[in-house]
A and B are shown apart, each in its own frame.
Chain A
Amino acid sequence: MKPRSAWPSLCAVLAAMLLVMFGLPLVTGLFGLVQATVFIAMAVLALSQGFIWGFGGIMSFGQSAFFGLGGYTYAVAVMNMGDSTAPFFLAILLPAAFAALLGYFMFYGRISDAYVGVITLTVTVILFNVVNSTAGDVYHIGNAPLGGFNGMPSVPPLNMPGDPSTPLEPQQIYYVCMALLILVYALLRLILASKFGRVVVAIRENETRAMLLGYDPRLYKLLVFAIGGGIAGLAGCLFTNWGGFISPTVFGLSQSAQIIIFVLVGGLGTLIGPILGAVAIEYLISVIGSQQTLNADLILGVVLVAFVLLVPQGVVPVLRNGVQRLLALRRPAALRAPKVAQP
């Protein structure tokens, strides 16, 4: 049987995203776009986790570390340099470099999968404690005081490349974020379709077999982890631009857990799943806070548990199966696979 080509579905998803990108401003006002911007930033973050976990098999509990690093790098760099072009790239490269370092520490030490989670969790907790203690004037990098628990307010937004006097308006930031989301998604799909991507998936399936075939799993996992770190850093930069603010809570345990929830709800092993999961959960949390009747934690807890018990694979795989089954029903009966008689 011929394997299904990936191109139709990729084009369909890209087309849908472009539709949202240009259609949303027509149906909603400024608030809707600003709200969408933070959802998009979280979607990019979820993509990083979905990529390294769903396809790389790396159970990282600390993507929030790179998310926070990206946000802080952007904030510190733009406050020192004025023009936002270099800070934007720094916000991707620095977390990626840190991820590469941490990846070297973990994968070249042959840490088992469960402990990768623990180590990444510990790293993010350490980062939280350290950044939290940086209150006071003495803790500053150039012109940028780190602010400790209070965070860094009034972070200058992105400007037109090379021209610091023209900061982007919120609507323009929305377009930038959406474009970047589409770019990252397309990039990841391309990576997965390439030889590199296939080796990565092979390593996830069976590391020993891949090794026996001549591939070094440590190097591949390191690269995957670094790419994931860079994407999370980008998400951090977008997040800081949305809120004009960054504080140590981005390194928190809650943030890490939330990213994992995005991916699980959306569907592990897909790329569109984490995007949808992030948007859905963020929207749910916003709605919960708008009512005062029931405790917010109560509602979210019930929703999560119900989800795990009833829809454990996540939304996208369920939808996909549903669609496939619908399509299969449409084929003539003769072409459907005959039932094998059971003894």
Chain B
Amino acid sequence: MALAALIGFNVLNSIAALVLLSIGLGVIFGMMKIINLAHGEFLMLGAYATVVTTNAGINLFVAMLVVAPVFVGAVGLVVERGIIRFLYGRMIDTMLATWGLSLFLVGIITTIFGTTVKGVAAPFGGFSIGPYQTSAYSLFMIAMALAVLAGIWAMLRLSRFGLIVRATMQNPDMAAALGVSPPRIYMATFVLGAALTGLAGGVLVPVSGVAPTMGAAYIARAFITVIGGGAAVITGSGLASALFGIIDQVVTFRTTPVFGQVALLISALVMIRILPQGITGRFFRRSL
């Protein structure tokens, strides 16, 4: 019984991690259909921002929840103005440019900080589910994932900005005719997506090995989750994260992590074959 509860908790943790990892990418892809290959490096920048400021004395949570998103959001702004802005509509060129950007970011962080950096330990310690120990930090991650989803939903649903964003997503020309400037909205969305990714990077710091090349381990999973989720940002990423999170955890627990990864990839393949537009291409089509 306690074991089942433990596994259930692990599944929630895995889903939360996937949500955090992919929401930023989902916002950018869902809005602008841009494939940002530097997504992993934005995560890495968020992690480094958190680590460097915490080691300099700032409170971990301020670093994670404020400094990381603001810093990576600013980087996103520079990137959007400097590179992405010229490439709208050119999906392949954006892929190439963001791949170059990812190499550049890895290179510059390695040049400044070297190949390793002192990390930060998880703040909360453990707690027990029956006779089993698990991490209280996982509770924090689950809470953060829910908060992020709720926040995006609130923004999209309840704020004027959210309304404008949704309108531009559905029909940019009409929105432009009504006085909205789509390029400004794209810029804002890219910055938002970058900030969310920076936040995710910061939240992951206490449970990861932080290195300039850490982004590469997350990018395939984030992409598969976003593409599998489909056009709707929240529901899509949420459902896809749930599906893949469950498969990965359950298979890993029953067999080995190798099979867990392969199972995740194969299930992604099958799902894309069955639902070519992602989950929300068929179900929950009109959700956010």
Contact = CB atoms under 8 A, between A and B. Distances in A.
A and B touch in the complex (CB under 8 A): yes
Interface of A: 59, 105-106, 109-112, 114-115, 118-119, 121-123, 125-126, 129-130, 133, 253, 257, 260-261, 264, 268, 294-305, 307-309, 312
Given A301-B104, A302-B104, A309-B83, 13 more contacts: A106-B273, A111-B273, A126-B266, A129-B261, A257-B99, A298-B107, A299-B107, A301-B101, A304-B100, A305-B97, A307-B100, A308-B93, A312-B90
Interface in B56-106: 83, 86-87, 90-93, 95-97, 99-106
B271 to A, nearest CB: 11
Interface SS of B by simple majority? helix
Given A303-B100, A304-B100, A308-B97, A297 B110 contact: yes
B97 A253 contact: no
B258 interface: yes
B233 interface: no
Contact of A309 (B97, B216, B273): B97
Interface of A is mostly: helix
B103 A300 contact: yes
Contacts of B103: 297-298, 300-301, 304
A301 B102 contact: yes
Interface of B: 37, 83, 86-87, 90-93, 95-97, 99-108, 110-111, 216, 219-220, 223-224, 227, 258, 261-262, 265-266, 268-269, 272-273, 276-277
A47 to B, nearest CB: 18
A299 B111 CA distance: 12
Nearest to B261: A129
Contact of A312 (B93, B99, B268, B272): B93
Contacts of B265: 122, 125-126, 129
B216 A253 contact: yes
A257 B100 CA distance: 10
A308 B269 contact: no
B67 to A, nearest CB: 24
A260 B96 contact: yes
Given A129-B258, A301-B100, A309-B83, A115 B269 contact: no
Given A129-B258, A301-B104, A305-B104, A111 B272 contact: yes
B227 A305 contact: no
Nearest to B220: A125
A121 B269 CA distance: 10
Given A297-B104, A298-B111, A123 B262 contact: no
A308 B85 CA distance: 12
13 contacts: A114-B227, A125-B265, A129-B258, A253-B216, A253-B220, A297-B107, A298-B104, A298-B107, A298-B110, A301-B100, A302-B104, A304-B97, A305-B100
Q: Nearest 9 A-B pairs (CB), nearest first? A: A304-B100, A298-B107, A301-B104, A301-B103, A297-B107, A295-B107, A305-B100, A308-B97, A297-B103
Nearest to A126: B265
Nearest to A130: B262
Nearest to B212: A297
A303 B111 CA distance: 17
Contacts of A125: 220, 265
A289 B104 CA distance: 15
A341 B106 CA distance: 52
A115 B107 contact: no
Nearest to B37: A257
Contacts of B104: 297-298, 301-302, 305
